[in-house]
Amino acid sequence: MKVAFFDTKSYDVPGFDHYAADSGLEIKYFETRLNEDTVSLAAGYDAVCVFVNDTVSAPVVETLHALGVKVIALRCAGFNNVDIRACQGKLPVYRVPAYSPYAVAEHAMALLLTINRRTHKAYIRTRDFNFSLQGLAGFDLHGKTVGIIGTGKIGRVFADICRGFGMHILAYDKFPAENSGLRYVDLPELFAKSDIISLHCPLTEETRHLIDAKSIAQMKKGVTILNTSRGGLINTEDLITGIKEKKVGAACLDVYEEEGDFFYEDFSGHIVQDDKLVRLIAMPNVIVTSHQAFLTQEALDSIAATTVDNLQKFFAGTPNASTEVRYTIQ
């Protein structure tokens, strides 16, 4: 069984080579991303393996199907970059629903601690032997209220971390987790009472631009917003306006609406043409990381193991129903 592996990075290869060694899978690694211009590379392959910034649109799905590709394996949890409706009846899609909730939740807390206590700024200062404390004051997390939107495994792990800091927790989820011990409220109450809001929900048509001018207007003045989920959950222009008007006190973004054009690549020697991204990075109370929350050794190992297992079971005729993505009417 031959697998075309798109958007390959150096950290992907060891884990996949390890788990594929005795699996009957032959993997060809392509550095390019999958899209309409590159889909022809999948000719002669039984499966394609894609990541968050590959584009699996309806035209790509049609071409894959025509080329004889039998299955799409996502090496991530989210699938907003895949036209699941177009895949229906043509190409089954499998994902990695839970590679390491700790990796993402811990990164969210790392971002919060960094923006609050200005450790990134202190590091730069002391490298120049500047030991001034001017402008480095933060606030105690203890006693603050954090609103967690999305209480799947990652959201619940983040809640556990926040409990360790002595924080009060409000939660919102369309499908509340039973026996979680979380206090669920509606979104207006969460927006109004939270000092910090952290997003841990999937990107769907229902959640797109969940954070926009209307929701920001309901929030506390000086609120800190964290997003380690998907960039499209936030209307970037409205967030920038909220920061400029000092309604939003800080933002920590591991994801960005238009990240597909930039993230995972080195643009340090170029002029970035995305004005919104440039404005965000230039703001002193904003931290942007390049969709790296998942990037731990444990998570990479789990992603490789689950993805290879998904493919093995599919080709063996015993597909894993728990990891298959099915089209549902929104």
Q: Is 142 a catalytic residue?
A: no
Task: Determine which one of 107, 118, 230, 257 is catalytic.
Answer: 230
Task: Determine which one of 259, 270, 298, 326 is catalytic.
Answer: 259
Q: Convert the chain into a string of H (helix), E (strand) and C (coil).
A: CEEEECCCCCCCHHHHHHHHCCCCCEEEECCCCCCCCCHHHHCCCCEEEECCCCCECHHHHHHHHHHCCCEEEECCCCCCCECHHHHCCCCCEECCCCCCHHHHHHHHHHHHHHHHHCHHHHHHHHHCCCCCCCCCCCCCCCCCEEEEECCCHHHHHHHHHHHHCCCEEEEECCCCCCCCCCCECCHHHHHHHCCEEEECCCCCCCCCCCECHHHHHCCCCCEEEEECCCHHHECHHHHHHHHHCCCEEEEEECCCCCHHHCCCCCCCCCCCCCHHHHHHHHCCCEEECCCCCCCCHHHHHHHHHHHHHHHHHHHCCCCCHHHEECCCCC
Task: Determine which one of 291, 298, 324, 326 is catalytic.
Answer: 291
Q: Is 107 a catalytic residue?
A: no
Q: Is 230 a catalytic residue?
A: yes
Active centre residues (catalytic):
230, 259, 291
